Chains A and B, each alone.
Chain A
Amino acid sequence: MKSEPVLPQRSEKTVALLWLAVCLTLALVLAVLLPRSQLNSSVLALLPQQNLGQAPAEIQHGFMQRLDRQLVWLVSANDQDGDAVAAWWQAQLQALPMLKQVSGALDDDQMQRWGAYAFQHRNGLIDPATRARLQNGGGAQADWILAQLFSAFAGVGSKEIGNDPLLLVRGAQLALQQSANKMLLHNGWLTVNDAQQRRWYFLHGELASNAFSIKESHQLVTALNQLEQQLKTRWPDAQLLTRGTVLFSDNASQRAQHDVETLGSATLAGLLLLVWLVFRSLRPLALCALSVAIGAMAGTVLTLLCFGELHLTTLVMSLSIVGISADYTLYYLTERMVHGEQATPWQSLHKVRGTLLLALGTTAIAWLLMLLAPFPGLRQLAVFAASGLSASCLTVICFYPWLVRGLPVRPIPAMVWLARWLAAWRRNNGLKRGLPALVAIYALSGMLQLKVDDDIAHLQSAPAQLLAQDRQLAQLTGQQADQTWFVVWGDDEQQALQRLSALAPQLQQAQQQGWLASYRVLPLSSLAQQQQDVALLQQAAPTILDRLKQAGITVANANLNAMPVIAADWLASPLSEGWRLLWLSLPDGRSSVLVPIGGVKNSAALQQLASQQAGVSWVDRKANYDELFRFWRTLLSGLLALALLLITASYMLRLGVKAGLRSALPSWLSLAAALATLGWIGASLNLFALLALILVLGIGINYTLFFSNPRGTPLTSMLAVTLAMMTTLLTLGMLVFSSTAAISGFGTVLCSGIFCAFLLAPLALAPGKRKQR
């Protein structure tokens, strides 16, 4: 055993100064990063992105980000006020700096530009129906033109037939209308009528910036709520429906902030009380707070550096890390409190340093195991926890010997009770056998009631009022929030468009098969297709004009030149209004189109269809996630079982079969009891519960390790473990009360598992260590 220095060595001073420099740097970085950071509150963001189909990740990300920026309003009032109310609402929205591209009524100018663009590019914008009529010589198109001309109700005017004798613009426009949704045009407004013939006006807008922080989101939602109040004051029977991811994320982040504030302060108060009861002095409180604060700061900075954002779950779960990081301070201070008279702070440090590092190591490894799972949110949590805990621990090791001088020395509180508890474990066979047996019965009976549920929808608990509004909006507009679509992509714009046109006929077939109810294909052809169309036009035009002449109709010659349309121009034109969201081009030219699919009946068949085409993937987000949840739950179950077996085997190798099994028993039972608690309270087993089990295993093993630590005495180990358990329960116990189902389930599993691990940890006491007491 190496000698234990009584006084600080030069190297320790250096280390302390170094750590101080690191802390100051961290603080500086935090001050720079924090104001620009954003909080991600979507449960979906917890999930892996690479499984969203095979499209390039940048494309997926770009689409997701864009969809998250959209806002849609439906506003309605009584019949006379409708236009005025909608116009007022549009004006108010346009005045909000947090929104951009607020669109409502189309003005005459826009209508004209719409018509002008469609006319100037008519030979490049030929729709599939017109294309079919042009084939075989063009007779069908001639018939169609005649029918349009003779119909009083079609309204073909002299201007139209004079400019566009083949009626190409009309054909394209009819095709667009065929694929249009339930909207009708009313005085330039897109409107939709409900069952009571109440007219709703449609407005659309986007968040002004890509990176929308919690603060901005909340400002926007607050402003919108105020405007809605004003609207209802001015027009008492006006109604408003809003849809946007920002509403849900703001609601979630407000609840999370509420969680953090209330649960956080309750946790903190509990911790402070605990520390006060044990130490009866203010300084340990301050020291606890210091290490926790440095840990939280390091965690935040590293997470922001690695991921650029903080996930809501990370934020709320960081509460649990606060509790665990306080443990290190408590270990050291306990040591000082008991042995402060006989040992210098440095002697104490050297005595506990090994234990501290071992504890840090096992806990950090348990957290870092989560890095394996391809879930961005959980990876954040892992990074946050591992770095936060390390920083807390290093703070204790580097600073505290300097800071604890003069701390009062007191006997171990509740020493009698702890000693009796330990003695009972040694002598009382009833306890030694009975308690594990009781836990086993509890575990078995609870696990029998356990249900498995991989439905991701149960994880997100959006408020009923937002959901109802969303449902009503979906019903009115026919725009479901199903998030089922094909993603078609290519190395460049033309490849994407060619792949899109190869997909379109398949979709029609799929519709006929009843696999899907509706689809929307971007009305833009590849340049190759446009060339073919022009050739077709040139072939068909003479026949068509002849036929018209025979019918006594004289028209000007048609312009048969190529009128190429490329995506960028089309997107900048009013013609792409309502379609732009479906197109995405990356700076490197790679491009992608979304094809929204409604009323999916056979997701598997559509998946099959996509797999047969190059550059097409089928995305059914919910089905994908459910499947993914199931996969990872199964995989982690297997990994956990494997880990348990390995741990048991290593115990048995080290301690012999009997003692090894006894030491492993707390781990087995604590995991089983944690699962059983889920069963007893009627919650279901999902991926999050399993992740909590990993932590139960990681932290639980700590407790058994402390009891077999050769440098510690069972009684101080008992105190340390008790304190650790209490702080962990205090903090994780608060997670149980979180309003987010996933977090509360996580907390439940952790708490019951860790309490059980604590309860059974003395099983690991080797009978031969009796003398060490």
Chain B
Amino acid sequence: MRILCLLLLVICANASAVTLEQLQQRFASQPVIRANFVQVRTIAGMAQPLVSRGQLLIAQQQGLWWQQATPFPLMLILDDKRMVQSMSGQPPQVITADSNPQMFQFNHLLRALFQADEKVLRENFALDFHDLGNHRWQLGLTPKAAPLNKIFNRIDLQGEAFLNRITLDDKQGDKTEITLSATRTEPKQLTDEERARFAPAQ
């Protein structure tokens, strides 16, 4: 879940940022972002990678909506207060911030990043920002403290005008790559249908 927040953060970085600060300053100017995703999970010892596709939506006020379409439908909503995972045929699984703050720890952390709170970010990750030229950039995050550093070796984010790719490098040698395409920022407000997605789960 925590990585979702990272995603939420960085996907908003759309312009030809040269510095981290400039990237962060732009986050606020994109209230809604929509994109398609392809996720490839390579798990050591498994013949084939697990590939899934779908759509995602990030709204600054409401949170993140992650809709996996293939190979099977799966929906995930993450906002300030709760996390809801729904699969067809199963009751939605709801975790609230009150019942499980552990899950929300990084949510708060990354909100600080939205507000350009570099202090909080540096507290948890060693940052490694590169301007790759041609408006392309890369941000490497190396976790400094437990439990993050027990899970990941490193998290890499790459982008140009928008965030293009997130790579999670797992301690166990597994890898996850999420590639985003067809990123759209219009309309700037959520449509009624989109807003309904974030309505409290039953």
Contacts and interface: CB of A to CB of B under 8 A. Distances in A.
A155 B100 contact: no
Interface stretch (B12-20, B26-34, B67-75, B187-195): B67-75
A157 B174 contact: yes
Contacts of A553: 46, 50
Interface stretch (B84-92, B126-134, B157-165): B84-92
A551 B71 contact: yes
Interface string A453-468: 0000000000000000
B2 A153 contact: yes
A84 B103 CA distance: 25
B43 interface: yes
Given A150-B68, A157-B43, A143 B90 contact: yes
A79 B170 CA distance: 28
B170 to A, nearest CB: 6
A79 B123 contact: yes
B201 interface: no
Contacts of A197: 108
Contacts of B76: 151, 153
Interface in B10-56: 39, 41, 43-48, 50, 52
A185 B89 CA distance: 33
B100 A158 contact: no
Contact of A157 (B4, B68, B98, B170): B170
Contact of A147 (B85, B95, B174): B85
Interface in A148-190: 149-162, 177-178, 180, 182-188
B107 to A, nearest CB: 11
B71 A185 contact: no
A158 B102 contact: no
B178 A147 contact: no
A554 interface: yes
A146 B45 contact: no
Contacts of A147: 74, 85, 87
Nearest to A133: B90
B61 interface: no
B173 interface: yes
Given A158-B174, A178-B95, A185 B50 contact: no
A155 B172 CA distance: 10
Counting contact residues on chain B (CB < 8 A from A), the size range is: 35 or more
Contact of B50 (A149, A180, A183): A149
Contact of B41 (A143, A150, A180): A150
Interface string B87-131: 101100001001111110100100000000000000100000000
Counting contact residues on chain A (CB < 8 A from B), the size range is: 35 or more
Contacts of A150: 39, 41, 50, 52, 68, 71-72, 74
A552 B48 contact: yes
A594 B62 CA distance: 40
B98 A182 contact: yes
Interface in A177-230: 177-178, 180, 182-188, 192-193, 197
B174 to A, nearest CB: 5
Contacts of A563: none
B66 to A, nearest CB: 9
Given A182-B101, A553-B50, A155 B87 contact: no
Contact of A187 (B43, B108, B146, B178): B146
B4 A153 contact: yes
Interface in B120-155: 123, 145-147, 151
Contacts of A140: 89-90
A143 B87 contact: yes
A149 B90 CA distance: 17
Contacts of B182: none
A144 interface: yes
B5 to A, nearest CB: 9
Given A149-B41, A187-B146, A144 B176 contact: no
Nearest to B39: A152
B147 A554 contact: no
Given A180-B100, A552-B48, A554-B47, A185 B2 contact: no
Nearest to A160: B172
A152 B101 contact: no
B168 interface: yes
A552 B3 CA distance: 25
A157 B68 CA distance: 20
A158 B46 contact: yes
A288 B178 CA distance: 92
A757 B53 CA distance: 93
Nearest to B119: A79
Nearest to B95: A178
B102 A185 contact: yes
Contacts of A155: 151, 170
A158 B89 contact: no
Contacts of B48: 552
Contacts of B90: 140, 143-144
B2 A177 contact: no
Contacts of B68: 150
B87 A184 contact: no
Contacts of A156: 43
Contacts of A552: 48, 50
B105 A157 contact: no
Nearest to A139: B89
13 contacts: A143-B72, A146-B72, A147-B74, A152-B39, A152-B168, A152-B178, A153-B4, A156-B43, A157-B170, A180-B99, A184-B105, A553-B50, A554-B46
Instruction: Identify the 6 closest CB pairs spanning chains A and B, nearest first.
Output: A157-B172, A158-B44, A152-B176, A158-B43, A153-B1, A158-B45
Interface of B: 1-4, 39, 41, 43-48, 50, 52, 68, 71-72, 74, 76, 85, 87, 89-90, 95, 98-103, 105, 108, 123, 145-147, 151, 168, 170-174, 176, 178
Given A552-B50, A554-B47, 12 more contacts: A79-B123, A140-B89, A144-B90, A150-B52, A150-B72, A152-B41, A156-B43, A158-B44, A183-B101, A184-B101, A188-B146, A553-B50
